[in-house]
Structures are given as C-alpha cells and as structure tokens.
Amino acid sequence: MKNISIVLLVIIAATFGFSNTGCKDTTTDPDPVDTTTNDTTSNSKLVKFTLGFDAYELDVDASGTYAVYNVAANKTYIYAKGNDGRLGNGDFEMEIDSNTTGTYTTASGAAYLGLGTGEGVKREEFTSDNGGVTVVITEYGAVGGKVKGTFSGKVRKGINSYDLKNGSFEVVRKPDEQ
C-alpha cells in the first residue's frame, strides 16, 4: 500500500511539474482582424419592422430590394425582401405619391403598404388598405443613391388589425421608369 501511495505522489508531482513550470508566457495572441464589410447592397440589415410582437431585422436580398420612381404615375415604388434568421422571410412593397422627402399616410391615400411574412403555408399577407400607416421619407437620393425612411401604424389581415412599429428601410434608387 505504501508503494502505491509513493507511485501516486510521483505521478501527481510529475504532472504538475511538467504542466506548470513557473515560466511566464510572454507571447501574445495577435489582435483579431475585423473581416466584416459594410456592404449596403446585400446581406445588410437595412430593413426592420415590428409586427405585433415579432421584431424583424432582414438580411436583404439586393436583387429584390430597391426604390424606383415611375414618372407617368408620379409614384415611388419601394420593394424590400429578405430573411430574418429567427423569424423567416419578410418582404414589403410601398407606393408613395411623390419623389421627394416627406410624410405620407395610407389614410389620405398618398401611400400604400403591403407586407408579407413567412413562406409556404405559413405565409401571411398584411395590407394597409384603409388603415393608418404613416411613411416618412427622410432621404430621397438621386439615381444610384439611397432612399431612406420609417413607417408605422396598423395593418390588416382579413378583419384583424395588427400594430406595425419601428419600421425602417434604406434601399438603393434605380433609374426612373417612364
């Protein structure tokens, strides 16, 4: 029994002796390099909104997220589509009766907002028809520039009404349509 105790003590001493030499490690890890980009045309969370209790922050699909002014109709059409990693797909389309900054409401007929969430059988469509959605265009850049704004109010799905809050978007303006 005495021999086993001595062997165990030798093993423990050897383990601590080799793993903790008392030398101070003077090497340092290099500072991490930030490899992210601030690309505003794709995979950026430039579209956000809260629908009911769900807060969406969409990684946008650049091919389906843009603004375009239609000269003949005197309307700006704003489209956004993307995916919230937690809540799934989200998209919206807006129509604004102008090509400038300002405040537009669906109640006055100067704006329209259609909103979709989910996909497949879980897809839900909401509309601002006869609702009270306010869209504020805060920046209306030239072609190739940004169209930015906020939106909030009430949207409907069938006879049910839902709060729409904290909406914001930033999209690239495409060439005007004739």
pLDDT tens sequence across 3-35: 555 544 445 555 445 444 454 445 444 454 433
Lowest mean pLDDT among 73-77, 107-111, 152-156: 107-111
pTM comes to: 0.71
**Closest CA relative to residue 118, chosen from 165, 52, 169, 177:** 52
H/E run at residue 53: none
Q: What tokens were used for 54? A: 């769900």
HSE-up of residue 74 (Cα within 13 Å, Cβ side):
3
HSE-up of residue 140 (Cα within 13 Å, Cβ side):
17
Those residues with Cβ within 8 angstroms of residue 87's Cβ, 6 or more apart along the chain or in another chain: 54, 56, 117
